[in-house]
Amino acid sequence: MRIPVIKGNIKRRLLVNFRADPAVVQRILPQPFRPKLHHGRSLVGICLIRLERIRPAGLPGALGLASENAARRIAVEWTDTGGVEREGVFIPRRDTGSFLNRVAGGRIFPGEHHPARFSVLDISGHIELSMRSLDGTVSVRVVGDNTDTLPASSCFSSVAEASSFFEGGSLGYSVTRDARRLDGLLLRTLDWRIRALSVAEVHSSFFADTKQFPKGSIEFDHALVMRDILHEWHKAEDLYAIPRNAHE
């Protein structure tokens, strides 16, 4: 089935980023991916995104749907079959509060999703967001406020430098039911505007798991927030990869 172009509005997008030991991250990645590095560190994290007016291109926005979604992300590079160097993100798991996303994901819409519950307070630049998957294996919590600067401990020198790094990750490859097939999805934003989020509390069950990330191999780096961005999702060619490790 040909998957249509999906368009809509990114009402809110949080990129919660951690810096990690590249050797540890490499063990998680399937071939042909390798970590995309910044100052010798791998960047991993969570994308927490509220989508509104989501519908196939050509339909009016009034018919679009809204949803809260989460995705684990690892910034990666790889060499394609033509020898061209590529960059994007590897997505070990997606979660959603939308029944339609779960049913249609990977069929009518790109991306296979797990069911989850979201609790969100988003007012006057202050955000409190919690997510827990219905299977009980994944939880995320972020509390923060809009700001203009990154933490002094960040491996990025400025918001502009971090923005440039993550803007290159518009091509994502997600784990599917087929252990070797990765679902390709390209995000095209009609405007790229981003600012920092001063984080008072952050937790990710996946990145806190010492079996995946031994003590000392990962640290919180910074968080970014995007708001009211018109965008399109385009189906990209699937990638067939060789798993290195379990991704759940």
What are the pLDDT digits (tens) for 44-76? 999 999 999 988 888 888 888 899 999 999 999
What is the four-CA torsion angle of 54, 136, 126, 169, rounded to 10 degrees?
-50
pLDDT of residue 163: 96
User: pLDDT band at 246, cuts 50/70/90?
Assistant: very low
pLDDT of residue 109: 58
- Cα 43 to Cα 218: distance, rounded to the nearest angstrom: 9
- Cα 243 to Cα 35: distance, rounded to the nearest angstrom: 15
Place of tokens 């040909």: 2
- Cα 54 to Cα 180: distance, rounded to the nearest angstrom: 29
- Cα 202 to Cα 200: distance, rounded to the nearest angstrom: 7
* Residue bearing the bigger pLDDT, 212 or 242: 212
- How confident is the model over 137-178, as pLDDT tens digits? 999 999 999 999 999 999 999 999 999 999 989 999 998 888
pLDDT of residue 130: 98
User: pLDDT band at 104, cuts 50/70/90?
Assistant: low
| CA distance to 78, 121, 218, per residue, from 96 (Å) | 28, 17, 25
- pLDDT surpasses 70 at 247: no
pLDDT of residue 213: 97
pLDDT of residue 105: 57
User: pLDDT band at 102, cuts 50/70/90?
Assistant: low
The values of phi and psi at residue 102, to 5°, are -70, -40
- pLDDT surpasses 80 at 81: yes
- Cα 11 to Cα 75: distance, rounded to the nearest angstrom: 23
pLDDT of residue 55: 86
Please work out, in degrees rounded to the nearest 5, the angle formed at the alpha carbon of residue 48 by the alpha carbons of 6 and 20.
120
Strand partners of residue 189: 231
Burial of 78 (C-beta count, 10 Å sphere; 0-12/13-18/19+): buried
Q: What is the CA radius of gyration of the chain?
A: 17
Of 29-33, 236-240, 244-248, minimum mean pLDDT range: 244-248
For the chain, the average pLDDT equals 91
- Cα 53 to Cα 67: distance, rounded to the nearest angstrom: 9
The values of phi and psi at residue 231, to 5°, are -155, 170
Share of the chain above pLDDT 90, in %: 73
DSSP E strand boundaries for 23-158: 34-35, 37-38, 41-56, 65-79, 85-91, 94-96, 114-123, 126-133, 139-147
The values of phi and psi at residue 24, to 5°, are -70, -45
Instruction: Count the alpha carbons within 13 Å of 171 in the hemisphere toward its beta carbon.
Output: 14
